[in-house]
Structure 1
Amino acid sequence: MKFSKRHAAKTLTWRLVGTLDTMLLSWLLSGDLWIGLQIGGFELATKSFLYYMHERFWYRTKIKSANKRHIFKTFSWRCIGTLDTILLGWLVTGSPLTGLKIGTAEVFTKMLLYFVHEKLWYRINFGLDKRIKERRLQS
């Protein structure tokens, strides 16, 4: 599999936003800042890998409509991300209920944040040399 600067940059920017959101939600729902920091820390590793693989998968799809693509990507990523958060919350706190609460809260905050992130990155040509060349040829 070929390394993609664009997918790596998207992974890093999303991880910053996503991890801060998870840390805040974990802290608020557990009542313990240390738990929020732990879950966020573990998430950096697990979700960075999962997100990069998700980007590589979606890069190969043939969905032409940008809005459909963003919506499908938002939902597919949220399923993966929520399962990861629930498991991490459970492992860190020892409580499946706390993991479920954190994961459920994340569904709402992360769907909105992810959709905005996708819309912003769609406007950025970083790492899309092929797309830029095609646009120039069409002009």
Structure 2
Amino acid sequence: MADTSHKRHIAKTITWRIVGTIDTIILSWIISGDPYIGLKIGMAEVVTKMLFYYLHERAWFKINLSKDGKILESRKRHIAKTFTWRIIGTMDTMLIAWIVSGNPLTGLKIGFAEVITKMILYYFHERIWYKLNFGLTKRNNN
């Protein structure tokens, strides 16, 4: 049986990147006061975030948090994934915002602002994908 999870993880990567980039552009624009800085930051992180997100998704796929032989696909798992992804994503955004704006304080402000918005958006993104069967050969119903 072929592993179709790669297709699912790529699709999740793309949909999350669209949501995340829009959020980053808006926050960066508001914080910097410059729509072009917002666009530059948002566009610069598209590639890095897609790579990091795909690797994060693959790592979580391989993590065996199980109970009685069943992988736990629960709200707790989604919350844990939300926090681990947010740490990676925020560090990436802070660094890119600092480089693009030339101001480390701008990078910190954008990074801290997105912690809240991105965690909320990511949690709902995970819940939506949990309900979809796209790219799954079978689903463990816990």
Question: By the TM > 0.5 criterion, same fold?
Answer: yes
Structure 1 residue runs of 4 or more that deviate by more than 3 Å after TM superposition:
none
Residues in 2 aligned to 1:11 and 1:67: alpha-carbon distance in whole angstroms = 20
1:62 CA displacement: 1.8
Q: Does 2:134 align with 1:126? A: yes
Give the structure with the larger helix fraction.
1
Structure 1 residues without counterparts, runs of 5 or longer: none
Q: Does 2:84 align with 1:76? A: yes
Larger RCO (alpha carbons 8 Å, 6+ apart): 2
Residues in 2 aligned to 1:12 and 1:28: alpha-carbon distance in whole angstroms = 24
Residues in 1 aligned to 2:73 and 2:33: alpha-carbon distance in whole angstroms = 42
- Tell me which of 105, 108, 122 is aligned to 2:116: 108
Alignment RMSD, CA only? Answer: 1.4
**Which runs of structure 2 are paired with 1:15-54 in the superposition (5 Å)?**
15-54=17-56
Residues in 2 aligned to 1:65 and 1:22: alpha-carbon distance in whole angstroms = 28
Give the count of matched residue pairs. 132
Q: Give the TM-score normalised by the residue count of structure 1.
A: 0.91
Residues in 1 aligned to 2:32 and 2:86: alpha-carbon distance in whole angstroms = 21
3-state SS in 2 of match to 1:110: helix
Match of 2:9 in 1: 7
1:71 CA displacement: 0.7
Match of 2:75 in 1: 67
Q: Give the TM-score normalised by the residue count of structure 2.
A: 0.89
